[in-house]
């Protein structure tokens, strides 16, 4: 099921005339069109059902009305767009994206006024922090919901999303479904694209949390200043009641000093923050620390891997405590969470080396996680990495360089090329990896074979990491899509390979298409950069 079809259920009777009055526009079409009853608002022609209003949004490649005939065939009775439909009664608005969020919130009786919504935004850590918040809410006795890039989940119901934050109509429908199912509070991951595209308009957040900001998505936002401004726009009184800000991040410190709503700061190093972590210890099985809060201290024992999860957990705890939730209950909740799909998630298939799948897709994420992974082994760190297409091309070479600075073996492969030439994507990552002059670098375009190569090279005590896609299970090459689950594929390959001999370093060198040095084992350092 795609996220556009989430939580469909009849709503209170709303007519075309009611929607026209809300939008302050007139119905273009038959004189009696205003009396038509609407079942739902939908912005994806593929999931329309009889009685739906079709919100036809202009996009970069297609206009929603390019699919108006499909909408009619599916049973749509109204179009809402910036131009008239030739086959449906239409409500014309200047900017459909600008109105669909508030319209959908009104249509579904403003569900964010009935369900406390905890938002999380930032470059890295959004998904993990949202999962931590949901776990803390559940431990405090709340009936919970979760809307993240990894999954959308409520009571006895869940689905795999197609984007980090749903489109506005889907978001409001999902929140309304949560309310009907008794959800009292939920966590929502909020991407910068969602903010800029106004998908979260119409949602009133109980708390909005900021994790960090680093170089990413500049293909979309243009500059870091514009990227920061997009994130910062969520921290105003018309968006949220409470701001929660990680001040370990320089952009976070700047944000915290300029918010116009009650603001809680958090940190893993600064005891002057409202909530901070002390006595932090990270091991191969998780992390432990003491959360110091205005309501007292609480011990936290994270089962999720990586020092970055301490920061994410502290942001989540601060969001919960700012809402009045007991810190002990919140700490128990985040400690109970065993794993987050695609976020430093181990693969256990009986192998004698450590295997991990992680979303790590930018240099900030690499510099946070790779030093920790180096500490897990005195042997080799093997890293499978690539670059997705239709993204900021300036990320590619640094991605390869940082990967090869920390890893002993880097296997460069395809992720989702989208409309870009995959050979060019690999070329740029390979160029960065060669520049590091540290790792043995191999090019293998086929992702399955790249994972096989990594597994065959792994020896007892090594750490093997497949990076970049995390919980994403779809490979996209132009208009073609295929299913590929990194975690499941890696588990299958390891299971098949157990007991077989992997290639020697010389064999690897013959297979590699680009090599700088062979099996250099010295660590480049473990401090956070």
Going by the annotation, the residues of the binding site are 45, 122-128, 164-165, 191, 197, 199
Burial label for 329, CB within 10 Å (0-12, 13-18, 19+), is: middle
Strand locations in 169-254 (E): 185-189, 205-210, 240-246
Distance CA 7, CA 236 (A): 29
Burial label for 257, CB within 10 Å (0-12, 13-18, 19+), is: exposed
Q: Which residues of 174-213 are buried (b: 16+ CB within 10 A; e: fewer)?
A: bbbbbbbbebbbbbbbbbbebbbbbbbbbbbbbbbbbbbb
The sheet with strand 296-302 has its strands ordered as 157-159, 152-154, 144-147, 185-189, 116-121, 205-210, 240-246, 263-267, 275-283, 286-293, 296-302
Instruction: Name the CA dihedral angle for 402, 246, 249, 306, rounded to a multiple of 10 degrees.
Output: -20
How many other CB atoms are found less than 10 A from the CB of residue 228?
Answer: 16
Q: How far is CA 442 from CA 296, 412, 435, 445, 528, in A?
A: 51, 6, 14, 10, 26
Distance CA 377, CA 379 (A): 5
Q: Of 404, 421, 390, 388, whose CA–CA distance to 465 is shortest?
A: 404
Distance CA 431, CA 398 (A): 9
Distance CA 106, CA 125 (A): 31
* Cβ atoms of residues 41 and 101 within 8 Å: no
* Cβ atoms of residues 440 and 408 within 8 Å: yes
Q: What is the DSSP string of 378-427?
A: SS-EEEEE---SSS-GGGHHHHHHHHHHH-SEEEE--S--BTS-HHHHHH
* Cβ atoms of residues 133 and 223 within 8 Å: no
Look at phi and psi of residue 448 and say left if phi exceeds 0, alpha if psi is from -120 to 50, else beta: alpha
Distance CA 454, CA 449 (A): 9
Q: Of 144, 187, 148, 145, whose CA–CA distance to 165 is shortest?
A: 148
Burial label for 499, CB within 10 Å (0-12, 13-18, 19+), is: exposed
């Amino acid at each position: 099921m795609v996220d556009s079809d989430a939580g469909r259920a009849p709503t209170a009777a709303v007519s075309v005339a009611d929607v026209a009055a809300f939008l302050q526009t007139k119905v273009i079409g038959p004189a009696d069109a205003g009396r038509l009853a609407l079942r739902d608002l939908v912005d994806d022609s593929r999931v329309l059902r009889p009685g739906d209003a079709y919100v036809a949004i202009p996009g970069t490649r297609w206009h929603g009305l390019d699919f108006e005939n499909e909408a009619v065939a599916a049973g749509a009775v109204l179009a809402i767009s910036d131009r008239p439909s030739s086959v449906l009664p239409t409500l014309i608005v200047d900017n459909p994206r600008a109105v669909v969020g508030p319209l959908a919130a009104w249509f579904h009786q403003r569900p964010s006024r009935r369900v406390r919504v905890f938002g999380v935004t930032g470059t890295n850590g959004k998904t993990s922090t949202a999962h931590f918040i949901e776990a803390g809410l559940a431990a405090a006795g709340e009936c919970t919901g979760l809307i993240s890039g990894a999954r959308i989940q409520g009571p006895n119901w869940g689905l795999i999303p197609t984007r980090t934050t749903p489109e506005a109509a889907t978001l409001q429908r999902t929140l309304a479904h949560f309310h009907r199912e008794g959800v009292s509070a939920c966590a929502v991951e909020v991407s910068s694209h969602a903010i800029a595209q106004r998908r979260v308009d119409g949602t009133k957040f109980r708390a909005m949390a900021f994790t960090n900001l680093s170089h990413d998505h500049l293909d979309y936002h243009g500059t870091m200043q514009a990227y920061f401004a997009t994130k910062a726009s969520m921290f105003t009184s018309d968006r949220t009641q409470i701001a929660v800000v990680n001040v370990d991040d320089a952009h976070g410190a700047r944000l915290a000093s300029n918010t116009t709503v009650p603001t809680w700061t958090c940190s893993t190093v600064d005891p002057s923050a409202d909530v901070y972590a002390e006595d932090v210890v990270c091991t191969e099985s998780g992390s432990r620390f003491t959360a110091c809060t205005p309501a007292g201290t609480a011990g936290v024992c994270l089962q999720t891997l990586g020092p970055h999860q301490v920061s994410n957990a502290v942001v989540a705890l601060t969001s919960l405590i700012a809402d009045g939730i007991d810190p002990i209950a919140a700490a128990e909740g985040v400690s109970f969470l065993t794993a987050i799909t695609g976020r430093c998630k181990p693969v256990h298939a009986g192998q004698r080396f450590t295997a991990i799948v992680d979303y790590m897709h930018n240099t900030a994420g690499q510099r946070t996680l790779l030093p920790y992974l180096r500490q897990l082994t005195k042997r080799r760190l093997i890293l499978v990495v690539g670059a997705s297409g239709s993204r900021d091309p300036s990320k590619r070479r640094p991605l390869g360089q940082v990967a090869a600075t920390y890893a002993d073996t880097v296997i460069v492969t395809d992720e989702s090329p989208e409309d870009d030439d995959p050979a060019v994507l690999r070329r740029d990552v390979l160029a960065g990896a060669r520049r590091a002059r540290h790792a043995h670098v191999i090019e293998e375009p086929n992702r399955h074979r790249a994972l096989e190569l990594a597994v065959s090279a792994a020896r007892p005590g090594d750490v093997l990491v497949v990076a970049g896609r995390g919980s994403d299970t779809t490979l996209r090459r132009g208009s073609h899509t295929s299913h590929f689950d990194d975690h499941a594929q890696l588990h299958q390959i390891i299971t098949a390979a157990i007991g077989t001999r992997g290639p020697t370093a010389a064999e690897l060198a013959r297979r590699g298409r680009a090599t700088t040095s062979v099996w250099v084992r010295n660590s480049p350092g473990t401090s956070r950069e």
